Structure formats: C-alpha cells, structure tokens
Amino acid sequence: MSLAHLMQQRRARIAAWKALGCDPYAYRFEVTHHAADLHARGEAVTTELGERVRIAGRVMTVRGHGKAGFAHLVDATGRIQAYFKSDVMGEQFRRYELVDVGDWIGVEGPIFRTRTGEITVRADQVELLAKSIRPLPEKWHGLTDPETRFRQRYADLFVNLDVRETFRRRSRLTSGIRAFLDARGYLEVETPVLQPLYGGAFARPFVTRHNALDVELYLRISNELYLKRLIVGGLDRVYEFSRNFRNEGMDRSHNPEFTLLEYYQAFADVNDMMELTEALVCEALQAACGTLQVPYQGRTLDFSRPWKRVSMLDAVSEKVGESVHDLDPVRLARHAARFDLHPRAGTGAGGMLDELFSTLVQPELQDAAFVVDFPIETSPLARVHRGNPAVVERFELFAAGMELANAFSEQNDPDAQRAAFEAQGAARERGDDEAQALDEDYLRALEYGMPPTGGVGIGIDRLAMLATDSRTIRDVVLFPQLRPEEGRPVADDLEDVEDEAPPA
C-alpha cells in the first residue's frame, strides 16, 4: 500500500475522532507520572490494581483485537504499556479502536503488573492528543541508514531511544563544564555571531550582508578576539559556548556549524591553562560518563591524570628519521613530498611541520595527550616560548586521534601582534586563503593594555563524540548540515560514513 493511501486512511480517522466529539489535536493533558517513575517502583507494583495515574506518550505498538488490547507508549523517559478492555472503558473503547501507531495519546487508570510481569496502566479513559497522519518508519529498516537518521532527527529520536541518551549525556557534559567554570569565578558571556571582520582561527568564513547597514558581515569562525577584548575591559575570567561557522570540508570530525567552548583567564599562562583544562575535561567526563576510562569505538580511552606531554618537533623528528628542530623549509618540504603531503598554498615550514604531524603522529594519539612546541607561523595569536624562540607557548589536546582543544599564552604585545597579523597577510598574498586577517580594532584594544592571559578553546562536539561513543560528529549534532534532500545521499558528504553500523 502506498504512503499516500496510508496517509489518506489516517486522515479519514480524524473525521471518526471528531464524530466521537474528540478534538484530534488537544490543547493540553495533565500528566502525573512518567514511564521511568512507574518502572522505578519495581516489585511494589503487583497484580492487584494500584495507584491511579495519568500518562502520555507516542504509541509505538498496538496489539490485540476484539474486546481487549495492549499498546506501548513512549514518553520522554522511556516505554510503558497500557491495557484497554471494553467492559472497563465502555464507550471509550471505541477511541482505542481508532488509535494508530504514531498517535500521541493520554491514558488514565490504575497501575498493575500483568501475568507476564510487565508494569502496565489499565486504561479507564483515553484521549487523543495529536493524530499521526504519517506512518512511522519501520524500526529495523527505515531508520538504520545515516541519511534518514540525520535528515529526520525527530523520527530518529522516537524510533531509536538510545539516540536520546546520546543528547542527554551531551547535556550532562556541558552542564559539568559550566559548573566547573562557574565555581572558579568565570563569567559566562555572549559575543557577536555576525562580525565585521572574522578572526581567531585558520578558516574560510561564511559571508552574508546586512541590508539596513549596507555592509558585508561574516559568521564568526571563532569568538577568541572578542573574549580577549573583555579581558582588556577588566572581566578577568570569561567563557562562552559559541556556535561557530567555518566554510570548509565535511568529514566524520568536521561539521560546518559547531560548538566551541572558549575560556580566558587574566594573569595566567599556558601552563596554568594546561592544569585547568586537564581538571575541567576530567570533571566533565566524570559527570557525563561516570568514569575516566571512556569506551570509544572498541577501545578504552584513558583520561586519568596526569596526561602525557608530546613535543611536536620531537614526535615528527622520530617519524621522519632525522631532526626537524631547526624548521628548515627545504628539509621539511622533502619529507612532505616523501609522504605525498600537500600543505595549504602559501604556508611555510610551520605549515609543512603541521601537515607531517597531522599525518604521521596525530592518528596514534589515542589516550589523552597534550602536544606542545608549535611553530610561530601557525600560531599568530600566541606568545613566543620563553625557552625556545623557534616555537610558541601553546598546547593542543588530542584523544582518539582527534584534536579536542587548543590553548596559548596569549599575545598581549600590540606591536608583536601587528607583526604576526602582517605575516599572515603575506601568507594570504602567497595563496593561503585561510590566513588570519589584520584586525585594527583588536590591536587598538591591546594598545590599552591586556594583562598576561591564558586562553583555551575546546571542541564540544568532538568531546561529546568521545563521551557518547559516537563515530561521527553528526551523531552528536541534533540537526547536522546535509545536502538538499533531492541531491546526492548523505554518504557522499562523508567519505567514511557509508559503512557506518546501524544504531543498536
């Protein structure tokens, strides 16, 4: 039977409900209990009729015929059974006979345990709360492919209940982070999403136009420069969960719209922020997962403190078989060619080192590790290392082969910052379209004086991937970006998603 015919049949039932004097789209229903509340009572629920309750949920199964039947309802907390019997319900039993799978209904009656041991609500009354005109996808076929799950997240959430737990765990993760920072005197703030000049990261922006002002604006790629303006203003500990937008490729760890946590602390340096970040991530994972031994894709990631420190220069030198500590561009270019790597146009020795690291070292960083000793070229917002002028005071946090966080001893010398911006401008002229732009207003802020500052950015989506054992970033984003529905399937967007296993 075609979908159109099935929907036509369901629309006909709307008229049948109205004939019974029922509005098929209710205004409200008073709920007194949820599925989890009733199941939590355990052995206290017996075969004798107990407390009278009012529950509501989406009908996921209907079975039985004649003068009695059962239905399973799913609410925000789980699944509960309802029992319908004609000699109990009287004329209301006709309402049960009109119920379709997918309908939202409210049920009132006493709870009891069936002979098979299932906690159940015996329906004395039933109300239709919202008629489902479109049939639900069939559980084992309709919502196991990535395209349908991501495109119809609303259906994914009520068919695959484990998906709900993914987003509840993500919420516990961010709540734990907020509690951690709030307890340490940080102030949560909001900074502009529409910016006259983008900055704070290496990325291509999305461009839009403000008609009233008649100006071109950019969706932010980072909130870093605005948060540091607040440090200049005297707010000495600030943080923000920001939605950022980068006009770049998409794969299992990149989505063009993503959530970034950034926090900045005056009078601190990268070493202080390393200790803080280690404590923050551990506390957040403990709140979300209940452990620091985090299962992820068939292995266990160890977040126990202290985390390993890895020198980018040492690690790449070991992989290529000779020292690259002098950042000689000829030597680095030779090794890049040897491994068939192609750094971004316009980048120099620093970009080549980063490309070698990303290919040869990063995939092996499974347990939590801080990577240090980044070249100046790839770190225009960081201060030069006090012990080695060839690198900067910066760390990146890695786990499961993914970058999770990035941090600096922030550059607070306006002249040095201007020179770094100008070097970025030269890289742009050489073809690096992700080079950072010179921000005169930010430099003006620095000229008023910014105290010594440490800053960190954490990719919340990637951290949520680890906390929920999710293989792709789209599993932890409620509404990920997709091609138009009439276009190519989502598997074409993600090079390694087409073999993704169905949800459990």
pLDDT band of 491, cuts 50, 70, 90: very low
Q: If you write DSSP's letter for every residue of 411-424 in order, what string do you get? A: ---HHHHHHHHHHH
The pLDDT of residue 139 is 57
Burial label for 253, CB within 10 Å (0-12, 13-18, 19+), is middle
pTM for this entry? 0.90
pLDDT at 495 over 50: no
Is the separation of the CB atoms in 115 and 47 below 8 Å? yes
Of 410, 419, 350, 348, nearest in space to 382 by CA: 410
Lowest mean pLDDT among 68-77, 130-139, 380-389: 130-139
Q: What is the rounded average pLDDT of the residues 95-120?
A: 97
Tens-place pLDDT, residues 246-263: 998 899 999 999 999 999
Q: Report the Cα 84 to chain-centroid distance in Å.
A: 41
Which domains, ranges and CATH numbers included, belong to the chain? 3-130 (2.40.50.140), 157-307+367-492 (3.30.930.10)
Half-sphere exposure of 265 toward its Cβ, with a 13 Å CA cutoff?
21
Cα 218 from Cα 241, distance rounded (Å):
18
Is the separation of the CB atoms in 444 and 140 below 8 Å? no
Q: What percent of the chain has a predicted confidence (pLDDT) above 70?
A: 95
Tens-place pLDDT, residues 266-277: 999 999 999 999
pLDDT band of 238, cuts 50, 70, 90: very high
Is the separation of the CB atoms in 35 and 57 below 8 Å? yes
The per-residue pLDDT of the chain, averaged, comes to 93
Of 263, 366, 368, 364, nearest in space to 305 by CA: 368
Is the separation of the CB atoms in 428 and 346 below 8 Å? yes
Tens-place pLDDT, residues 173-187: 999 999 999 999 999
Q: What is the rounded average pLDDT of the residues 27-31?
A: 98
pLDDT at 290 over 50: yes
Residue with tokens 């509005």: 23
